[in-house]
Structure 1
């Protein structure tokens, strides 16, 4: 096993040996070998054990763990242990503890109990990272560094005085002068004009609504402040261990952090995903987040955490029924993951997560969960050859964090019901149902190779972004409330859609948010419905459009908007001025015009995706289904030769190795000038988790 390469697909989970007597460790590594575990995440929350007093270290126990892992063929995703500071640090430096918007300093006793801007916290993390790197730089088990843990899960922001000083430095760098800040924030409104940067504070609790431009910059700052913490440790690790890749585990599609910027700073994208077993549609939502992970660097990623059964933090923690753990793991692989790992290896005996499931449950090897672990380990070994292969998508969804933060600003919008993830799901769900591969792209990202680009919402749109969309040669779909403001959250002259006006051929006369429980009928006409016409209800949002050069594809029927245009097209750009209950009719027509075909014809509840020459068919229903294969192949899970009509049992799957790989294995390189990405070789069987060449 090479230092930075683990053959095949990664399988394992978080391992917390410090929670157990040392005599248990031998059983752990023996059972890991039996299950086929080849990677363990170690020392995530171990700072207080590794550095029990300032500058005094105890690495003996971790040395033995690392040796045991290596002896049993298990690589280490070794954490820098900085996810939670030790008690001595927060007691000696109480200013390291975070402060909420009301001025209350939160105390020690959970995790992530730190202020991201605290110099004392940052100095201590850099010191520990260096000691860890120097100690384990040559250890044969070390395969990857794991910095922090689930950044922004508990501590996204801190409103203390140190954070205020940091925020002011960030603002000075962004806006240059106080006059620049005043112009960007529109401080003439409500008498907020500043004459010095030291008058500016974070958006703490105030008597009324806080300036939305200030809140927007605060969102940007909080993401950047945490990223600085990550990059501080990364710089130390890169200096001491330049050939060991670095990751931190993302949290699917997280509002608080701009993952385009974060992914550019790490070597390997990894994600934690916990779809709710009680939600029959949860596999659709998590598929969207997996497609984001694959898109962030345009190469395979790692599912670093998932639950083998129940979690411990919902109001009701439903377990995963038989087959679901395996199916969810295969789903991650289907969407480009090169590993299916878990939280955690051995189920905890105490603490907040003692009822969180694990690969080795409380009941030990006699439990149903352990049998599921053994089965999945065997399956992943059978699927080893898919490692490194990629997905080619012809449809892209636009996701930009700046626009998301602006859209969901509190207390200043026409409606607080517009939620970006819901808007994205409205388009993604029917694409997912019909087996159409989807990438996500940032504003200004590379659109070459796509036939269809969908912007479910682009509330914030600059002139540069409008030109970027206008240059796209395929079919464009833009959702409502787009092109409203610029990068400073200031309404464009002439109103929406601002710089998109020429591209869309219309103007929004007035926003028309719909009260809860009220609908507005939208009459779809040709070409959307062919020779006929149909009515589809819209909820939450509508707009009064003034149509210029665009053609009207649908009109409102009844109500105050009766007869007004609802959906338009100008050239190959379609605009929806409303939120339809079901966008399928519009989507079907656009896909047909663009020549986009699904990877397979599947019944409802069956997910179809392709990685290179490998076709994944996942039955998320509880009943057998029949699927007609377009081409024969070998099911890697069973070794069977399959052709024609096949049957897939409930919560089961087929992973079909078909003929030669269809065309290119990746759509393109690059994800926009500001976030360049690389392409992972599609013909490399082992999981390659080495740093990119430019970062060594």
Structure 2
């Protein structure tokens, strides 16, 4: 008779990657006792355990995992059980060296780290299915198993493989996508440089060429690589759904643009039962909490706004950045609760106990090398108590004020060679726009270019070089329906095949913006231009300018100098019931804030000037009530006008004004 299996974490998840195979079994009982002390509710197990679970082909050793899962269940701790397919054993590579990936330079990468996988390899696919099936048959109804965790961080550290097996798979993928060689030749523009293909066997991955390779081929290969790994995820997921029905299946994303740029998470998010994400601070960034919030908002957004789960972050420093900057007292809790504010159903870490050996032995952990008589451990215990107090927020949704349009495939395309300026940077503009909205105290959703945008009063397109015709129509519908749109330079330039849209730039956006771009005007390194606007108000820009011709749009700021002097620089176009703004230069922080403030007035978004800089105010709402998270990233105490309610972390009643200590977090359950 199978046990009743928990379906998901059940509570706000708190814990981390647990790798007990690195420790003698007598340590396990101590670990369980410490987990209970810290309020741990779930741990991720088995992620890197393939060699221990299957020490030779077809010979499984499950005894240790049986004992571990039983221990966890007895202690009331749930397991996020992994399929360990990110690191096949050494015996597998000895038998199948062809499953190791080949770089674009033609070098076959070696076994000895992690993620060294050719995702097109039939041998890898068969072996991965074998260990997944064995685990699911044994543990599919185990009462500790709350969630299945397939693989680990797909795309990190390598996704693309250029071997002959991948080449054959790429050709099959292309045939499925285009149907005929004529269609492929048209899409890739192979008439240029005489690259036309007359047989599918003539096509290879975009390996190194004497000069720049066909950009459409490069773009399709990036799509193929993401799709190939996704096929492997689906293969494991479907086995788990079959053999462990009702237990959610996920894989940990790395959606922050600073972490993984090879996976199309819009496509992947549709395939998981719950979105989970790993996030690590850019430690040396003075305001790294903004990147954290951006990653959290993006994680929530790819899942359609539903609650998600932070599956990894760090208690303190990490060893793989240039400098493993330690977190200051209280920073771990702020980081964790900022993710929860933005939709995470808990906070998990890498890892539970700091490793003594291996590449990540200087990565921080919940149980540090210093042991339990340490600041980190005391903060770990305190955070467990905080998450227990926040249980009422589970299932509620974060409320957004505005949206940013983001697309991984456009990012891939813009990063390819021979663009008009090597200083053009999709990620930089997205981060700049996000930071400007953050400083205006607006909570942001991210949206696919073809998604319904009608619920947002303000939508910003920071960088969308590649834009389908349908995306262009979608943005026009949004504006005509009453929305306020802000578009930054070098957007709407090419279609999904990296072919320039017919007619003047910005092809897919000409009508909604009411203008054309006659010529790009990249600036020299260090060069700046001045923009003059209403009442002589001046803005400064660098990197980029354009010769803009207004065709219905109203010039609001004009280039006062530089190569586009006298031309419109920032325009406003009324269309239907809404308004579209265009920013044709790379504005500095102050300039971007000025334009977003003006667009915010069109969007009827009231300024929130009473809130201090670097104090986050985020709402979660649902059947469980309304919750206000206030996160103070400053060194000064503050007070926020919030309304009446009960503060969950301290249990105190609040009337109107909510005091928040320096570096602290408060969560107000608002009265109905």
TM-score norm. by structure 2 comes to 0.95
Deviation string, structure 1 residues 304-338 (Cα, Å, up to 9, x no partner)? 00000111101211111110011100110111101
Cα drift, residue 596 of structure 1: 2.0
| 2:627 equivalent to 1:618 | no
Give yes or no for contact 1:212–1:412 (8 Å, CA) kept in 2. no
Aligned equivalents of 2:608, 2:273: Cα separation in 1? 30
Cα drift, residue 5 of structure 1: 4.0
Give yes or no for contact 2:140–2:240 (8 Å, CA) kept in 1. no
| 2:325 equivalent to 1:318 | yes
Secondary structure at the aligned position of 2:492 is classed as: coil
Name the counterpart of 1:504.
513
Pair 1:632–1:2, CA change in 2 (3 A): farther
| Correspondent of 2:667 among 655, 659, 662 | 655
Name the counterpart of 2:616.
607
Deviation string, structure 1 residues 408-462 (Cα, Å, up to 9, x no partner)? 11x2200122221211122111211222121111121121311111111221122
Secondary structure at the aligned position of 2:663 is classed as: coil
What pairs with 1:192-231 in structure 2 (closer than 5 Å)?
Answer: 192-231=195-234
Cα drift, residue 154 of structure 1: 1.1
Higher relative contact order structure (alpha carbons within 8 Å, sequence separation ≥ 6): 1
Cα drift, residue 585 of structure 1: 0.9
Cα drift, residue 650 of structure 1: 2.2
Cα drift, residue 2 of structure 1: 5.8
Give yes or no for contact 2:8–2:147 (8 Å, CA) kept in 1. no
Aligned length: 652
Deviates more, 1:589-598 or 1:93-102: 589-598
| 2:303 equivalent to 1:292 | no
The CA RMSD measured in Å over matched residues stands at 1.4
| 2:461 equivalent to 1:458 | no
Name the counterpart of 1:475.
484
Cα drift, residue 169 of structure 1: 0.6
Name the counterpart of 2:447.
441
Pair 1:457–1:277, CA change in 2 (3 A): closer
Give yes or no for contact 2:642–2:658 (8 Å, CA) kept in 1. no
Secondary structure at the aligned position of 1:609 is classed as: strand
Cα drift, residue 597 of structure 1: 3.8
TM-score norm. by structure 1 comes to 0.92
**Structure 2 residues not aligned, in runs of 5+:** none
Secondary structure at the aligned position of 2:544 is classed as: coil
Deviation string, structure 1 residues 513-561 (Cα, Å, up to 9, x no partner)? 1122111111132xxxxxx331111111111111111110110112222
| Correspondent of 1:275 among 272, 281, 292 | 281
Aligned equivalents of 1:174, 1:283: Cα separation in 2? 41
Name the counterpart of 2:372.
365
Deviation string, structure 1 residues 64-111 (Cα, Å, up to 9, x no partner)? 110011111110000011111100111101100011111111111000
| Correspondent of 1:131 among 127, 130, 134 | 134
| 2:495 equivalent to 1:486 | yes
| 2:339 equivalent to 1:332 | yes
Aligned equivalents of 2:103, 2:472: Cα separation in 1? 38
Pair 1:434–1:559, CA change in 2 (3 A): closer
What pairs with 1:55-204 in structure 2 (closer than 5 Å)?
Answer: 55-204=58-207
Deviates more, 1:159-168 or 1:270-279: 270-279
Cα drift, residue 342 of structure 1: 0.2
What pairs with 1:23-42 in structure 2 (closer than 5 Å)?
Answer: 23-42=26-45
Name the counterpart of 1:534.
537
Give yes or no for contact 2:642–2:657 (8 Å, CA) kept in 1. no
Deviation string, structure 1 residues 327-364 (Cα, Å, up to 9, x no partner)? 10011011110110000001101100111111011121
Secondary structure at the aligned position of 2:522 is classed as: coil
**Structure 1 residues not aligned, in runs of 5+:** 526-531, 661-696
Cα drift, residue 593 of structure 1: 1.9
Cα drift, residue 463 of structure 1: 2.0
Cα drift, residue 601 of structure 1: 3.8
Deviates more, 1:125-134 or 1:248-257: 248-257
Pair 1:50–1:2, CA change in 2 (3 A): closer
Cα drift, residue 12 of structure 1: 0.2
Aligned equivalents of 2:373, 2:133: Cα separation in 1? 42
